[in-house]
Every structure is written in structure tokens, then in C-alpha cells.
Structure 1
């Protein structure tokens, strides 16, 4: 079972073995929401299915939200039904990928853990790594998914709410890591949310810092050294990851796990929820 990363050669062997498998392509462009589906139909791993951030991994309607923010989580029950419609059942190994430095695929990786499914791994390096390893690609729409039953289990990943974070501000036992680019963290620019800045006391580690130029994660030892320097003695178990809308924070969360520092919590509403909540403090600089 693969639970964090899987390499392209490992995926090739897994596919050849005939083991129950679902490959899920989460390619998505934030400023062009339909671009990921176009990219998928241009080329994708044979047998994979496209998973859309807005349609599958969020609840944009607001009717069944499990969090706030620009990309609110759907309830676990709604998401389980969506997974079944995509052909995933509990006995399958899930492999997730994207073309955007493991951003949206990280979201699906985390959500499957949140629903109790441990057998999910991110394809290290995404589609580019698959092609570099000689993997075949297909084009056109995905084949229709055979509906399956996905049963919820106890969560393997956990969240922190805005209120929980606010209650713990300035106290020992909470360490916030913000995955946004440095300029947004400082409040020098804010292209998406109505308020610029960050949660007081938060540390900044842009999610792009976790990967090498080829899109693969840095070695575990290097990630561990970088996070230990950032934490500067703070307990890794105290970390709560966040970003703009709870999506690009997950590469930091996954990188800490690869580094052997455990699985931290996620603030899924992130800055987009925090800065829209009256009375919550904002820092800049």
C-alpha cells in the first residue's frame, strides 16, 4: 500500500499487477477553472479520471459545507458519494496527480485521508514524471466510471477551525504555517481576498519550496532540515497548516509527513475564511 508518494515506475508496476487501482488526475488552473479538464483531455494516464477542484473537491453551493473559505470542503458524506460515482471503493489504491506542482492532487490526497482512506498516494512529479518514465498517455474524455460504494471510516486527517486557532493565538501549543507566496503573506499584494496580510504569529513557507525544479518532492532528509529550521524548536505536532483557501497548504502538510515529522492539522478555510470573519486580528509585514 502506498500512503504518501508513489513514483512513476512504481505506478507502472502496480498497473501491470492488476491490483485494484484508481488513478485520479486533479489538474486545475485557479484563474482558468476549465483549463484542467482541457489538459486532461489533451493527454492523461490511460484509465484515469479527471477530478475537478470546484465540482468534486469543494462545495461551492454552500448547501453542505464542512468548512468556510473560497474552496469550502463538502461534508464527508457528500464527498463519499462523489468518490463512489468516480469509481473508487475502499479496497482500491488511489493514485492522485496534477500538472500544478502537487497542489490540487494534494487536496484530494488529504480529503481521502480525512474520509479514512489510507491507501492514497501522490504521483511524485505528476504527469511529466510519468512521461519521462516512458508511461503511455491517452487523449479524449475518460471512460465512464463504473459506480462503486465508498464507505466512510474514522478520519485519518484532522482540521482546525478559525475559532480554535483564534482561541490559541499567542499561547504555547499552536504553530501556524502559511503556504502562500511571501508577498501575499506580508500583505504587499492580495489578488484574491478582500484583506491583505496573515494570521498573527504565523510562519511562512511557500508550498513551492517543497519541490525540486522537475516537480518532484525534495529528499526527506532535506525537507526535515528545512522544516526544523522553520519551526526553530516548536513541536511539529503543534502545527496547523493553511494558505489562501486550504488547497496549496497541503504540500507543506505532506512534506512534513514525508520528512518523518507526523501529520499536522489543516485549517481548510485558511486566509479566505479568517479575513472575512469579523473581529479576527490581521498582521502585515
Structure 2
């Protein structure tokens, strides 16, 4: 499956980030905790030009906690301030605010020593579509201050949001790079819904997801869809098995592949197949990323 997607408004967003960076003290880079590498825009490092950064790994409730612990250690060892959060339930949001103040502590002290009145810390949140930015902003602001949706690309434009007396946040739309040079990255983004389903063959996507899960989380797959045996089965065969288990049958006893594909993708994205991480630090180190 060859995935290419670069809506025109995303080029505009890159310019927006670059142009407004001079107003920012700290950049909050929002990633998907299940796919920290695939959900990272590789242009961000160049765009933020060395600004202090806090990496917030969202949707941590959907990720494998053991793998998330490995990622936290990996980021720490590589000098990145990071925190795992759940924007829906609010887990980690207060700690994130504290981390922002820690990052800016020295600068704030210098300002005080010069007799300057401290102003709010100005932050910018950046992330790819459907990584949960709008839900994150609503949660951190304590009110529904940004439009939310379960489809990528809902947010547009630019707005300042007052978090509290100490923090202000500049929202920007999600940005995604124009070409997926690594097929695995494109697939991970499609699995998690960062790429619109209406431009993808969802049957092929669901089959690929089942094939991946059979390799890395076989017990989850067996438990949710009662699929056995998994060994030596192609993704399409697994999808057919799941379809029969769920009663996705049409006339003539044929499998309704569109229906079971929608079910598989929906249940994965909603965490009903279990807490799953599709990338680990060990794999990234091995691949040299």
C-alpha cells in the first residue's frame, strides 16, 4: 500500500509555525504514545530551531505501559524532557504544566533579578493531525476552547489560549510531511487514524494491522477475536477468520470484508483490542533511526 497525503493547508501551517516562533518560549511537541517515531514530523526539529521543547506523548492510555516506560527512559537518556499524558481523562496534564515552569525557571529568575515583571510562559503546541491536539488544548485550558473531532485535520487557523496566569498557548493546526519515505511509518499513521480512511483501502489496511498484531500482540488478538491458530496466516486470512467470528456474513456465505475491516480498525483505535504500542526504542535503535 502506497500512502501519500499532503493537504494544501499543511504547507501554510509550516510557515505559520516558523513565523510565530519568535513569540514562543517553549514548544510542546505532541506525539502519539503508540507510535512516537511515526507520529513525529521530521521537519519539527528544523522548524523550532533549538527552542526549549517538551515532548508530550498523548493517548498513553492506549499504549503498552511497559513499552511507554522504555520510551520515557530513552527520551531521558537522549536529553529530551518528556511526559506521557491522556488528554481525555486528564492524566499528566497538571504535571505537564509543572514541567513547563521547570523548563523556564532559570529564565524567569533572570527576569526577576533584572526587576522585570514576569509575563506568562508562551508555548506553542505542534503535532500531526489526529494526535489529539484539540482534546489536549481543551483539557489543559479547562474548557472547550478548541474544536475537536475524531477525524484528522479538524483544526484550522491560529489562536492564543490563556491556560492560567502563568501560561499562554498558541495553537497551530496539525502538520504532516508530504512524503512517507518509510512504508512502515505510513502504515502506522494509517492504523492509528492520522490519515483519512477515505483515501485508503481499508480492507488492505485492516488485514495488514491483523498481520502485525499477530506478530507482536498475538494474545490480544486471540482474546478479542477468538482467532486460532494465528501461525502462518496472512492478514487477509486473519481478517476472514475475524469476519466469521463476528458474523460479518453476506448472501452466499461470503465475508463482508468492508464491515469487518471497519470493526477491526475501530476497535484497535479505541483500545478495545488492548493497550498496544507499535514502536519500541529497541526497534528504532536497530533500524538506526
TM-score of the superposition, structure 1-length normalised? 0.32
Larger C-alpha radius of gyration, 1 or 2? 2
Select the structure that is richer in helix: 2
TM-score of the superposition, structure 2-length normalised? 0.31
